[in-house]
Amino acid sequence: MAVYTEVPDDALATFVESYGLGEVIAFKGIAEGVENSNFYLATDQGQYILTLYEKRVAVDDLPFFVGLVEHLAGHGLQCPVPVRDNEERAIRELCGRPAAIFTFLDGISVRRPKTKHCEQVGRTLGQLHLASDGYELVRPNALGLLGWAPLFAHFETEADGISPGLEQLIAGELDYLKAAWPTDLPSGVIHADLFPDNIFFRRDEVSGVIDFYFACNDAFGYDLAICLNAWCFEADHSYNITKGRALFRGYESVRRLSVAERAAMPLLARGAALRFLLTRSYDWINTSSTALVKPKDPLEYARRLRFHQTIENASGFGLA
């Protein structure tokens, strides 16, 4: 949770005026979001989210993200879309940072997802994959297979300081996945970070998807495997096969998985677990003690990875 940049009232008023959004009625920094500074903004014309992009988001990627949500919303997915200013620009600058104003999305995220939420998430992810069809910009997955080894190299010698045996677990898994990773699965734009924080619900129905700043081109099944990791494990780290079945059922109600995707699910789940194990380990080691954002526990994902290593085929996840 963090707001990294303070926005003075006079700079804000000038900025909002250039969108023709009227008078600023309320403005509050939001203690959520790790990468950017976000603000709740109300004017006499409506509610918005103002985002200032801090250093972790590459400026060159912003057209991809902004164009993507406009494309997805245009194809029926509920997500915040940028408001364009009086000169039709979606990305501007405020307080020395790239900035954009987005439409406000009603709904709240669930902290302890139930089975019904998992089904909804599966359906929404399927809708997102279908809706992304035809989007023309491309963004490689910097945190895909090719990114994992370089990321590990940054903290390899310190990994056992997080937990003894972690270095060996990751090194072995990297070798295994490098040899076995499927490369010809159905692909397109994926969300790549569809954790419970990033889906809003109203009355147990999805009201929208947020935070597309990891979106990229990769295998659809990998996106589903990320959700499997993020939504279908209990607080005691055990896999909940009922939730897994619900996730797959929801997804397949919109987009049917191919035989190859099913077969690849254990590998994809391992890869997804490894990806979050790597980034969380890196953050764990590299977060200064004065940081506003507390790093998340990497070991949750070491446990998920070890579980996935025991799964021989998709039926182990409840995928029929």
Q: Does 112 bind a copy of itself (CB under 8 A)?
A: yes
Q: Does 111 bind a copy of itself (CB under 8 A)?
A: yes
Stretch that binds a copy of itself, among 18-26, 153-161, 164-172, 181-189 (CB under 8 A): 18-26
DSSP states along 158-169: GHHHHSTTHHHH
Instruction: State the binding string over 162-181 for a copy of itself (x if CB under 8 A, else -).
Output: --------------------
Give the nearest distance from C-beta 3 to a copy of itself in angstroms: 4
Per CB under 8 A, the list member of 106, 133, 205, 297 interacting with a copy of itself is 106
Q: Does 286 bind a copy of itself (CB under 8 A)?
A: no
Per CB under 8 A, the list member of 73, 104, 147, 158 interacting with a copy of itself is 104
Rounded-to-integer distance, Cα 241 and Cα 115, Å: 10
Give the nearest distance from C-beta 92 to a copy of itself in angstroms: 19
CB-count burial class (<10 Å; 0-12, 13-18, 19+) for 137: middle
Pick the closer one to a copy of itself by CB: 10 or 87. 10
Per CB under 8 A, the list member of 14, 292, 297, 315 interacting with a copy of itself is 292
Give the nearest distance from C-beta 171 to a copy of itself in angstroms: 31
Q: Which residue has the tokens 């014309």?
A: 45
**In 234-309, at which residue ranges do the beta strands (DSSP E only) sit?**
none
Region class of 144: left (phi > 0), else alpha (psi between -120 and 50), else beta = beta
Pick the closer one to a copy of itself by CB: 28 or 178. 28
Tell me the CA distances in angstroms from 221 to 42, 50, 232, 238, one per residue in order.
38, 32, 15, 22
**Does an H or E element contain 208, and which?**
strand 205-209
Give the nearest distance from C-beta 10 to a copy of itself in angstroms: 7
Specify which residues 40 forms β-bridges with: 28, 49
DSSP states along 140-196: B-TTSHHHHHHHHHHHGGGHHHHSTTHHHHHHHHHHHHHHH----S-EEEE-S---G
Stretch that binds a copy of itself, among 9-17, 125-133, 161-169, 171-179 (CB under 8 A): 9-17
Stretch that binds a copy of itself, among 108-116, 150-158, 242-250, 267-275 (CB under 8 A): 108-116
Rounded-to-integer distance, Cα 90 and Cα 99, Å: 9
- Please tell me whether residue 68 adopts helix, strand or coil conformation: helix
Tell me the CA distances in angstroms from 126 to 2, 123, 173, one per residue in order.
31, 5, 28
Q: Does 8 bind a copy of itself (CB under 8 A)?
A: yes
Of 22-61, binders to a copy of itself (CB under 8 A) are 23-32, 40, 42
Angle between helices 299-308 and 166-180 (to 10 degrees): 50
Q: Does 12 bind a copy of itself (CB under 8 A)?
A: yes
- Interaction site with a copy of itself (CB under 8 A): 1-3, 6, 8-10, 12, 23-32, 40, 42, 104, 106-112, 202-203, 289-290, 292
